[in-house]
Structure 1
Amino acid sequence: MRLFRSLTLLITLIAPTAFADDLYQVEMILVRQNAVPAIVSRAAPEDWAAGAQRVGPDAQRTPSLKSEVDKLTASSQYTVLLHKAWQQTLGETPTKVAISDGVEQFGQFPIEGTLEMKLGRFTDVGADFWVNQIDANGLVTASERLKQDSHTKNGQLNFLDNGHLGLLIKITSLTAPAPRPVPDEIPD
């Protein structure tokens, strides 16, 4: 019986720990692929951010993917619609954040959507965005929608392709040690 207790204790010490909530930087770029015809969907719902927490001004960060945005902007194939970066905690429990851009009119924005993220071996990402056309009265007259789920690799730029709209996303740990650089040459 003593051996069983010792073995149990040893296994708990050696076994990998569950992913704890850690601080991450999330950066996203929403683009329109100009070569693909726009697909107009139903208008964005009024409760587009239901259950999502807004990214506060204190969590926003300076985007680091400026060179990628410059390349996309220089190309006639893409239109950059939104570029945002912020920090937040991620863990095994899904977290949902609301992101918007432009002038709010009756609870709607020209660009609005949510990102739901759950940390694991990869980060599960659920993106749901609307690009709205708003008339002079402040009513949404038409919307384009990106709804995509993906398993993204942390620390790398990932592309979620949804036809005419796409999302580049990079999720980087702010608490994990930086990976060691790969040697130029492997010694014999």
Structure 2
Amino acid sequence: MRARRILTLLPLILLSLLSSNAALAESLYQVEVIVFRQAAEPISAGQLPPDNWAQNALPVDGSNSRSTALNAEAGKLSPSSGYQVLLHKAWSQSLGGSSSSVAISTGDEQFGHFPIEGTISLKAGRLIELDSDIWVNQLDASGTLTDSERIKQSSRLKSGELTFVDNGSLGLLIRVSPL
């Protein structure tokens, strides 16, 4: 009798284990980011980015780079409107229950730094958790860092929804959509 009851419950136990593993599985998303300067005067971060700014994050390169879709939105951020687009990138990224980070940059690397560099960390859940740490660097003629602006923000995003992150003189538009 007891063995029969256990055998009856066994399929339910196995089904619950399988469904919990599926819930923990990672899914592929398209991430698109626009970093821009607003009309305000640049606000110095008061510090320079660390030499290990990428912090073991995966780079956005040819293997995960995707075509941008927010071109109309980027076009509205024109100098005549008081804005300057500094970086516009899209990539594919696997998101799951633990944080996944990518390193984004643009411009010529000099002494391990780029004019625009930073990390985007995302974690999937009911909402997508964002941690952004982007540096806008001023480099002198010899390639030495002289000053930096920084947008370091945490936010929660709805999948597929365009989100604005404000940080004084800098702004960030981000959309994370399932593929």
Q: What corresponds to 1:12 in structure 2?
A: 16
Match of 2:41 among 34, 37, 41: 37
1:19–1:119: 8 Å Cα contact kept in structure 2?
no
Supply the distance in 1 between the matched residues of 2:52 and 2:79 (Cα, whole angstroms).
Answer: 35
Residue 96 of structure 1 is matched in structure 2 by 101
* Structure 1 vs Structure 2 CA RMSD: 2.2
Aligned length: 173
Distance 2:139 2:42 in 1: 16
Are the equivalent residues in 2 in contact too, given 1:97–1:114 (CA < 8 A)?
yes
Shift in Å, 1:76: 2.3
Give yes or no for the alignment of 1:66 onto 2:77.
no
Normalising by structure 2, what TM-score?
Answer: 0.88
Change (3 A) 1:74 1:141: closer
Q: What SS is found at the alignment partner of 1:47?
A: coil
**32, 45, 52: which is aligned to 1:47?**
52
Q: Which amino acid aligns with 1:51?
A: N
Structure 2, unpaired ranges of 5+: none
SS in 2 for 1:40: coil
Structure 1 distance, partners of 2:41, 2:79, is 20
Answering whether residue 138 of structure 2 is matched by residue 128 of structure 1, we say no
Structure 1 residue 145, shift from structure 2 partner = 0.3
Superposed displacement of residue 50, structure 1: 1.5
The Cα shift of 1:20 comes to 1.8
**Is the contact between residue 19 and residue 120 of structure 1 (CA under 8 Å) also seen in structure 2?**
no
Q: Measure how far apart 1:31 and its partner are.
A: 1.1
Deviations 1:87-116 (A, max 9, x none): 121111111110000000010000000001
Q: What percentage of residue pairs aligned between the two structures are identical?
A: 48
Deviation at 1:57, TM superposition (A): 1.1
TM-score normalised by structure 1 residue count: 0.84
Residue in 1 aligned with 2:112?
107
